[in-house]
Amino acid sequence: MEDFEMNGLPAIAVRGVIPIPNNEFRIEIGREISLKALELCEKKYDNEVILLIQKNPILTDVESKDLETIGVKAKLTLKLKLPNNNFKVKFRILERVKIESFVSTKPCFMVETSSYPTFIGDSTEETALVRTVINEVSKNAQLVLNNADDVLRIIQLGVTADEVTDVIADHLKNVEFKYKYLSEQSLIKRMEFILEDIAREKQIGDIENKINQEVKKNIDESQKEYYLREKMKVIQNELGDKARQDQEVDDLKEKIMNAKMPKKIEEKALQELQRYSQTSVQMAESNILKAYLDFLVALPWNNASEDVNDLTKVSESLNENHYSLDKVKDRILEYLSVKIMTNRNPQTILCLVGPPGVGKTSLASSIAKALGRKFVKQSLGGISDESEIRGHRRTYIGALPGRITKGMKDAGTINPVFLLDEIDKMSSNYRGDPASAMLEVLDPEQNSHFSDNYVEEEYDLSQVLFITTANDLSTIPAPLRDRMEIVELSSYTEFEKYNIARKHLIDRQLEIHGIDSKRFEISEEALYAIIQHYTREAGVRELNRVIGTLVRKSVKKILIEKTDKVSITVDNLQEFLGRIKYFNNLNRNEDQVGIVTGLAYTQFGGDTLDIEVTYYKGKGGLVLTGKLGDVMKESAQAALSFVKSHADTFKIDPLLFSENDIHIHVPEGAVPKDGPSAGVTMTTAIVSALTGRKVDSHLGMTGEITLRGTVLPIGGLKEKAIAAHRSGLKTIMIPQENAKDVEDIPLEVVSNLEIIPVKNVMEVINRALV
């Protein structure tokens, strides 16, 4: 070892990195041979060491032949032991050296070196080159240098050309074969290398830039394309819609021009059309405008049907479609004759009043047919909001026209027969009073400029022939009723129902079901049985439905059983319709205590109404149950008072009243519409209950009483009589004052019903109790 000290320095082979003088050099040292050299240099050589450049960085064990001939002399300035026992070291590179010989290779390299000086050439050339290099480096510092700022700072310090070259060479980012900066002795050459490297780097940079730009361009391009495509779609949509809209606008314009609206409205429509053509299809407004314009053009403005002003024809048509109803038909013909004579609509409106199913709607439709007019119907039942009649303002979302203009649109002519169904079922609420709107519709003075909120413009209803229907006259507001010519239709008797079925309903059902009338037959008894036991109504709706069922089942039978003809008799009726539903007149054949049959007049026609009375231990109270209107409750009080005050006449112990509670029950108390009429019935039932005497079950009665027992007149006698007959009663007792109404009762009923007018309830009681 001693020898080595004299001759040469310890050497460390480095790989992959080239130390350049005038720079710091940091490496990690791990190879045993290198660690030995490090140790030695510290101990014996004042931290000086030779760094050898390994030709092939991959080799671990190297020999002298694997090392470059030029190396550097370096001074160890920092040594850190790493956890893996390697050392992180820093050298200051001092100078280039030429390796002259390897003194030893074990335990570490020891080399003899000679100096390897830098040749300085022509100073002008050198100066020029230095400037160029500094200039180039400064210009492209970030592009070509690692730690550019440090390098620039060092250059600023005004170091020698040699130093500058070394520092730059060491910091160049991309150097082709960096060893050349060590091995080249000529400074000028080294500077030329630098310029070349920079130029190359710049070129690469340019190319990279170009590539980047190209890439960016490509990306931009595709984004641009995407963007453009998207835009194009929107534009195409717009254009497409526009085209569609243009077509629509043209169509609408044509329709508006053809609609022959009043000038003012036409102008307005064109204005709105203009707005429509300018609103985007995407906007909600567009739909609203479209709906409005569509509605305007669909409304009839000018189109009228020609009236058939032939009363005979009207009469024929009514007779053809409706059985009996002679009085009603007469009234209708009178009404229409005024119209024909004056050639304008009568001042009053026809109002057909009667229970459901008696033919009000079908009469109105027959009138339309006979006059050759269009027929439209709008139901007013349940309307409580004025805007149902007058429409909503268009500013509301989902605004709709009112039922009147809507009906006119459906009619398509300005002079249809317009049926306003159930005008008695309108009510009023905080949203206004539909009845007053109806007044405007029906008033010939006003309806030529009816205003619908939706249409916004006046609409002429003066050519329309309005007909209204109602079940109950009493609930029609008085101002409306004053405008109307009331025509009452009453319940049908069984005989009438029978004939309506025979003459109309059966044929119509056969036609609907496409079956030849020769293949279906129903006996008289069967038809009556249907009327009595399968339906219970004032009109013939249910009957019509039941006949429909019969015909349908017969068709099935004909098809499945291949029979020629179906005959329906009382015997096979149940086979078709199932069990009997109503026992009307079979109901109570037995006389009972405390049960009396009253007669009521409801909006569904006349009906019978069993009133039951009983009493039990109590404190003299009156208990009322069932569907009793307030009016009936008062009747009950009056009845009880009358019985109390005549207790001795009836031989009732007065104590009975104070020691018991009396209970009055009205089982199916359909609320009557004719006001109080159950006084006599209740009185009779109370007396029967308290005296234990039975009541004639074939007797019906109607009439209100005063406290003295006077029987007061009632309404709806005809309906009540028909109902009594329908229910199989044999006798009815009516107020004396109603005796004059008996002539209204159909003959068929009168001839089968004993009708006894009475003045005082005593007469009723005497007759009723058996």
168 close to 154: Cβ distance less than 8 angstroms? no
Taking the complex as a whole, the smallest distance from the CB of residue 538 to ligand ADP amounts, in Å, to: 9
Tell whether the torsion through CA atoms of 68, 69, 75 and 81 is positive or negative. positive
Smallest CA-to-CA distance from 389 within 343, 455, 326 is with 455
Among the listed residues 361, 387, 405, 727, the single contact to ligand ADP using CB under 6 A: 361
Min dist CB 274 to ligand ADP, Å, is 46
Give the count of beta carbons closer than 10 Å to the beta carbon of residue 768.
27
Per-residue binding string, ligand ADP, 520-559, x by CB under 6 A, is -------------------xxx--x---------------
Active site residue 619: no
Q: Closest CB to ligand ADP belongs to which residue?
A: 359
Please tell me whether residue 377 binds ligand ADP under the rule CB under 6 A: no
Name residues whose C-beta falls within 8 Å of residue 221's C-beta, 6 or more positions apart in sequence. none
Give which of 547, 525, 524, 523 is closest to 535, Cα–Cα: 547
Round to whole Å and give the CA distance between 302 and 158.
105
Smaller CB separation from ligand ADP, 188 or 723: 723
C-beta of 265 vs 419, nearer to ligand ADP: 419
The yes or no reply on residue 709 touching ligand ADP (CB under 6 A) is no
Nearer to ligand ADP, 180 or 502 (CB): 502
Choose the stretch contacting ligand ADP; rule: CB under 6 A; options: 261-269, 355-363, 660-668, 717-725: 355-363
Phi, psi of 10 (to 5 degrees): -65, 150
If binding is defined by CB under 6 A, does position 31 make contact with ligand ADP? Answer: no
Binding of ligand ADP at residue 680 (CB under 6 A)? no
Q: Hey, what's the torsion of the CAs at 705, 710, 714, 718, to 10 degrees?
A: 120
Alpha helices per DSSP H over 540-600: 541-561, 573-577
Q: Which is nearer to ligand ADP, 450 or 492 (CB)?
A: 492
Report the residue number, 469 or 681, with the smaller CB distance to ligand ADP.
469
Q: 47: alpha, beta or left, given left = phi > 0 and alpha = psi -120 to 50?
A: left
Binding mask 277-316 for ligand ADP (x = CB under 6 A): ----------------------------------------
Does 356 engage in binding with ligand ADP (CB under 6 A)? yes
* Positions in 225-264 near ligand ADP (CB under 6 A): none
Nearest distance from C-beta of residue 508 to ligand ADP, angstroms: 7
Q: CA-CA distance, 480 to 440, in Å (whole number)?
A: 10
Q: Least Å distance between CB 325 and ligand ADP? A: 5
Residue count at the site for ligand ADP (CB under 6 A)? 18
Binding mask 489-508 for ligand ADP (x = CB under 6 A): -----------x---x----
**Cβ atoms < 10 Å from Cβ of 674:** 21
Where do runs of H (alpha helix) occur along 279-355?
A: 284-298, 311-321, 326-342
- Tell whether residue 328 is a contact of ligand ADP (CB under 6 A): no
Q: Is 746 a residue that touches ligand ADP (CB under 6 A)?
A: no
Q: Between 11 and 351, whose beta carbon lies closer to ligand ADP?
A: 351
For residues 423 and 351, is the Cβ–Cβ distance under 8 A?
yes
CA–CA dist 296, 405 (Å, integer): 10
605-617 and 660-666 strand pairing: antiparallel
The residue among 620, 706, 631 whose CA lies nearest residue 666 is 631
CA dist., res. 344 & res. 349, Å (int): 12
Examine residue 90 and tell whether it contacts ligand ADP (CB under 6 A).
no
Q: Which of residues 111-140 bind ligand ADP (CB under 6 A)?
A: none
Q: How far apart are CA 581 and CA 365, in angstroms?
A: 32
**484 vs 687 by CB, closer to ligand ADP:** 484
| Part of the chain binding ligand ADP (CB under 6 A), chosen from 104-112, 161-169, 274-282, 356-364 | 356-364
Decide whether 386 or 542 has the Cβ nearer to ligand ADP: 542
CA distance 505 to 500: 6
Instruction: Report in angstroms how near the CB of residue 487 gets to ligand ADP at its nearest.
Output: 12
By CB under 6 A, name the one of 358, 411, 724, 745 that touches ligand ADP: 358
Rounded to whole angstroms, the Cα distance separating 325 from 493 reads 12
Exactly one of 147, 362, 563, 658 binds ligand ADP (CB under 6 A); that residue is 362
Among the candidate windows 42-50, 320-328, 625-633, 750-758, which touches ligand ADP by CB under 6 A? 320-328
Residue 676, interface with ligand ADP (CB under 6 A)? no
Q: Please, which residue, 419 or 639, has the CB nearer to ligand ADP?
A: 419
Q: How far is CA 296 from CA 210, 249, 415, 419, in A?
A: 66, 14, 17, 22
> How far apart are alpha carbons 179 and 126 in whole angstroms?
21
Least distance (Å) between residue 363 CB and ligand ADP: 7
Contact with ligand ADP (CB under 6 A) among 322, 403, 718, 720: 322
CA 338 to chain centre: 50
Cα torsion at 270, 274, 279, 281 (round to 10°)?
Answer: 60
β-bridge mates for residue 600, sequence order:
607
CB of residue 255 to ligand ADP, shortest distance in Å: 36
Run of H or E including 712: strand 711-712
DSSP at 60? S
CB of 324 to ligand ADP, least distance (A): 6
Cis, peptide link before residue 654, omega less than 30° from 0: no
Helix/strand/coil for 53: strand
Would you call 58 helix, strand, or coil by DSSP? Answer: coil
Q: Which of 91, 181, 292, 323 binds ligand ADP (CB under 6 A)?
A: 323
| Contact present, 407 and 431 (Cβ < 8 Å) | no
Provide the mask over 408-447, with x wherever binding to ligand ADP is found by CB under 6 A and - wherever it is not: ----------------------------------------
Question: Which residue type occupies 429?
Answer: N
Cα–Cα distance, 155 to 134 (Å, whole number) = 8
Told to check if 483 binds ligand ADP by CB under 6 A, we report no
Exposed, middle or buried, 736 (CB in 10 Å: 0-12/13-18/19+)?
Answer: middle
Nearer to ligand ADP, 373 or 504 (CB): 504
Hey, what are 162's tokens?
A: 């040699």
**Using the rule CB under 6 A, is 325 a contact of ligand ADP?**
yes
User: Of 365, 697, 720, 727, which residue is the catalytic one?
Assistant: 720
The residue with tokens 């499945």 is 560
CB of 322 vs ligand ADP, minimal distance in Å: 4
Out of 357, 594, 709, 716, which residue is the one contacting ligand ADP (CB under 6 A)?
Answer: 357
Identify whether 313 is a catalytic site residue: no
Q: Please tell me whether residue 672 adopts helix, strand or coil conformation.
A: coil
Report, in Å, the least distance between residue 660 CB and ligand ADP.
46
* Shortest CB 422 distance to ligand ADP, Å: 9
- Catalytic hit among 305, 317, 554, 677: 677
- Residue 369 or 663: the one with the smaller Cβ distance to ligand ADP is 369
Least separation, in Å, of the C-beta of 354 and ligand ADP?
6
Helix (H, G, I), strand (E, B) or coil at 569: coil
Asked if 698 is part of the footprint of ligand ADP (rule: CB under 6 A), the reply reads no
Which of residues 44 and 508 has its CB atom nearest to ligand ADP in the complex? 508
Residue 39, classified by CB atoms within 10 Å of its CB into exposed (0-12), middle (13-18) or buried (19+), is middle
- Closest separation between CB of residue 504 and ligand ADP, Å? 4
In the bound state with ligand ADP, the residue whose beta carbon lies nearer, of 96 and 403, is 403
Q: Contact positions toward ligand ADP, by CB under 6 A?
A: 322-325, 356-362, 469, 500, 504, 539-541, 544
Residues labelled as active-site residues: 677, 720
